[in-house]
A and B are shown apart, each in its own frame.
Chain A
Amino acid sequence: MRLLTHNMLSSNIKGVTNGFPLRIEAEKVVEKTVEMNPDFLKKMFDKIQWKAFVDGSRAMGFTELPEEVDSSVLESDEFLSRFHHALLELHLEEGALVCPETGRRFPVNKGIPNMLLHEDEV
């Protein structure tokens, strides 16, 4: 699972009002190179919640992203390539996602998070 998906995911448990962002507990992170597309990055930049994104990337061991950003950083190629790396090339292979409100763990195996809820959580 990439940080792109992590940034869209929130906890869906019944009664949870703010299930975003899910905390990442990383055990194994892999990197896969993909081609960079600046247009897509710029479009995603508007949609990404930056705080959650930076925290996620730190939890996965990538610390080169700035804490605070505004849209002017998109002009810098260096920033774009870091953003691209964190967004699309880092994969959480083994670990867990933790709901911020209830502490419920969603295990991640072979890169696939198990988001199935128990019956009493629906």
Chain B
Amino acid sequence: MASRPELLAPPEVFYDDTEARKYTSSSRIIEIQAMLSERALELLALPEDDVPKLLLDIGCGSGLSGETLTENGHHWIGLDISPSMLNIASEREVEGDLLLGDMGQGLGLRPGVIDGAISISAVQWLCNADKSSHNPRLRLKAFFTSLYRCLANGARAVFQLYPENLDQRELILNAAMHAGFAGGIVVDFPHSSKRRKEFLVLTCGQRSTNTSVTKGKGEDGESCSDDESEDEENKTVSISDRHRPRKKQKHNKGGKGREWIMRKKEQMRRRGNDVPPNTKYTGRKRKDRF
């Protein structure tokens, strides 16, 4: 099996000018990308009312997947971290708008405006820590919560991914569920090692009647996605949650401070506890040499 690009270098480094050009000029890759995005779009199950939708392409690269969206008449916004890939996309004059951004930093989009999101072979990159400041768990969380906010009620997000192992799949799925998504994994051609493709299908907000997880292609008999679709019912959250303000992050670098200690001591005194008297040493920082 070919080596996995995400093990070689971070995406913005791996997809440099040469690699980006190579990627986009390979007819095999173009074909696979078109096929995958076609299938992802199918799994999005957009309402068939012939009104163009505003979609998000996460990890759009050189815009190969976006082209499929354009062919189907939708408007799209593409996000990628590799400037070289985006340069090629703009050279190829793709219809969608491109953004240079890192999905692990969260998407800066207004709440509830996007009708659907697709992502072809991108999310597994989030499982790597390429910098010392990266924490895959936090980056996945930032990504999925921000995605959940920007999707419209009832919208879907479909991610085609190549998880390296079971743990990675679990990590991604958990992050998505914690963000409030419902859904599961659809496996196309589960019995073929070459054609096997996994799609993570997530639904945002209220579950409408038609959002049960679609069956994978080429599955005989037992459906592999059965167990996930059962989970789905328990894991849907109510939509009122979506507009709650983001949690303020706690930062207590300098400790609790003198004021806080005084308040606590006062509280303890009122309860009749034995509390040492307040002196000039109360709440003072120790010397470094201690």
Contact = CB atoms under 8 A, between A and B. Distances in A.
A5 B97 contact: yes
A59 interface: no
Interface in A1-32: 1-2, 4-5, 7-12, 14, 19-20
Given A44-B54, A112-B90, A14 B249 contact: yes
A12 B54 CA distance: 20
Interface string A47-66: 10100000000000000000
Interface in A75-99: 88
A93 B99 CA distance: 12
Interface residues of B, number: 32
A14 B244 CA distance: 17
A interface bracket (residues with beta carbon within 8 Å of B): 20 to 34
Contacts of A40: 51-52, 75
B101 A115 contact: yes
Interface string B113-129: 11000000000000000
B99 A5 contact: yes
Interface string A88-122: 10000000000000000000001111111101001
B110 A12 contact: no
A10 B101 contact: no
B81 interface: yes
B261 interface: no
Contacts, number: 80
B98 interface: yes
Given A40-B51, A43-B51, A110-B87, A10 B108 contact: yes
Given A5-B99, A116-B81, 17 more contacts: A1-B98, A4-B75, A8-B113, A8-B150, A10-B109, A19-B108, A37-B52, A39-B51, A43-B51, A49-B110, A88-B75, A111-B90, A112-B86, A114-B100, A115-B99, A122-B105, A122-B133
30 contacts: A2-B97, A4-B54, A4-B75, A5-B97, A5-B99, A8-B109, A8-B110, A8-B113, A8-B114, A9-B99, A9-B108, A9-B110, A12-B107, A12-B108, A12-B146, A20-B110, A37-B51, A39-B51, A39-B52, A40-B51, A40-B52, A40-B75, A49-B110, A111-B90, A112-B100, A113-B100, A115-B108, A116-B105, A117-B102, A119-B131
Interface of B: 50-52, 54, 75, 77, 81, 83, 86-87, 90, 95, 97-102, 105-110, 113-114, 131, 133, 142, 146, 150, 249
The 7 closest A-B CB pairs, nearest first, are A12-B108, A115-B101, A5-B97, A40-B52, A39-B51, A114-B100, A112-B98
